[in-house]
Amino acid sequence: MTLTRRAFLKRGGLALVSVGTMPLWGPSFLQQLVFAADPMRAGGKKILICIFQRGAVDGLSMLVPFGDPAYYQARSEIAIAQPAQKAGPQGVLDLNGFFGLHPNMAALLPIYKSGHLALIHACGSPSSNRSHFDAQDFMECGVADDKSIRTGWLNRALLDCPEDRAKLTPFRAVSMTSILPRTLQGDQEALAIPDLKSFGVGDAGFNPNSTTASAASGFEGMYESAVGDLLHGNGKDAFDAIGMLKAADPTKYSPRNGASYPNGAFGRSLMQIAQMIKANIGVEVAFAEIGGWDTHVNQGGAQGQLANRFTEFSGGLAALYQDLGDRVNDVVILTMSEFGRTVRQNGNRGTDHGHATCFLVLGGPVRGGKVYGKWPGLAREQLFEGRDLMLTTDYRDVFAELSQKHLGARDVNKIFPNHKPNARNYPGLLAV
């Protein structure tokens, strides 16, 4: 009896792929995954990495509209100082004379200047729902206020892409999370792998620049308890492959090109995405997430809790970009958040749930060095419901452009129900 590629532990993060596909992921296959050392190019396969900033990031602090005087009027205690010599390290990193990056996002400035980082302001969902859970669900499903759609837009995008079934691997769609996110749920098989140690290798506290780790124990027991009598015959090959992986230790992977990932789960997820991409194991879509953006109290300005999140976030993105080296020419990295924050700070020196926010897009194919989107303004009469940044770019037009022009989706209308993507509404993010 064989296992289908659907048979995997979503919550435990341990993928059980088809015994019939063993030649694709046997010992030599896993050895590539372990070392990922200067592998042969995979023939220009296009890859999309999606990163969800869960909790509603304050786009007005991430990409500061310092040229809009209403910004400083609304945020007397948490605004970021205008870029000026006297502001020093506390000031905005000027991009175009009107917008600037938060000073703790300096790691991304070289990518912007090289023309491979684009920012989209006043972007998000037309939904006015300010529930984190509903808004995240809608965005991952690719809809606005429609709870009847339960599959994810990324899953549907892969189903709509031309494919050679003989060349597909179980790693076509991978989420570095313990549970498969809504955006990857659907008919296309996808894996949830919170850590590559879930394949049988553990570490003693993550240090992305360390080459030492200890082997995990009890793997076989966990595996057997999950699949019971299904492991017979060729199933032994699976244990042989896992045993080889445990002996080789994938945590020996070393980032390249001077990349230094931040410590913690986010840095580990991005490093392992780079590892899988460079190992040429068939990744087309990868997903990661980072939380901590719900800053109702003591948000801070140039320093504080939000600034610290920007340090980790931007440092991880910059490390991933560097680590990929030439492979970044085939990769687009997209960041998103369910909505933004209120324009005016609240009485607790924080911000409440808002509307539009800022998305980032970076990678080799990106036409960057530019801030996209029509700026609606921050004067009271220009705000959404008198309190939030007005939406001028529907997130589905961003996703549709990347699905069609990067991944190769044939009919984006199938991907985004009740929304008719039109190329004239695409921001024009890709140099194609």
Residue 216 within any structural domain of the chain: no
How far is it, in rounded angstroms, from Cα 291 to Cα 309?
9
pLDDT band, residue 179 (cuts 50/70/90)? very high
pLDDT value, residue 29? 59
Instruction: Name which residue leads in pLDDT, 55 or 26.
Output: 55
What is the pLDDT, as a whole number, of residue 253?
A: 86
Q: What percent of the chain has pLDDT over 70?
A: 76
Which pLDDT value is given to residue 221?
41
DSSP lists the bridge partners of residue 327 as: none
Asked whether residue 12 is assigned to any structural domain, the reply reads no
When pLDDT is averaged across residues 266-282 and rounded to a whole number, the result is: 92
Given its phi and psi angles, is residue 151 left (phi above 0), alpha (psi -120 to 50 degrees) or beta?
beta
Contacts of 35 (CB under 8 A, 6+ apart): 248, 252, 253, 279
Does residue 418 form part of some domain?
A: yes
Task: Let me know: does 185 contact 152? Beta carbons within 8 Å.
Answer: yes
pTM: 0.85
Asked if residues 153 and 415 have their Cβ atoms less than 8 Å apart, the reply is yes
List the structure tokens of 13: 């993060």
Higher pLDDT, 199 or 424: 424
Mean pLDDT estimate for the chain? 83
Is pLDDT at 116 greater than 80 in this prediction? yes
Instruction: Report helix, strand or coil for 87.
Output: coil
- For residue 252, the model assigns a pLDDT of 77
DSSP 407: I
Structural domain boundaries, residue 402: 29-193+263-425
pLDDT for position 100: 97
H/E element, 295: none
pLDDT at 9: 36
Query: What percentage of the chain exceeds 90 in pLDDT?
Result: 69
In SS3 terms, 211-235 reads as CCCCCCCCHHHHHHHHHHHHCCCCH
Domain of residue 374, CATH code: 3.40.720.10
Q: Count the domains in the chain.
A: 1
**233: in domain:** no
The answer to whether residue 19 sits within a structural domain is no
pLDDT tens for 72-92 read 999 999 999 999 766 667 899
Return the number of other C-beta atoms located less than 10 Å from residue 205's C-beta.
Answer: 8
Is residue 135 in a domain?
yes
Number of residues that make up the chain: 432
Residue 163 is predicted with a pLDDT of 80
Question: Any residues with CB less than 8 A from the CB of 148 and at least 6 apart, and which?
Answer: none
Position 432 in a domain: no
Residue 296 lies in a domain: yes
Tell me the pLDDT tens digit for each residue of 343-397. Answer: 999 999 999 999 999 999 999 999 999 999 999 999 999 999 999 999 999 999 9
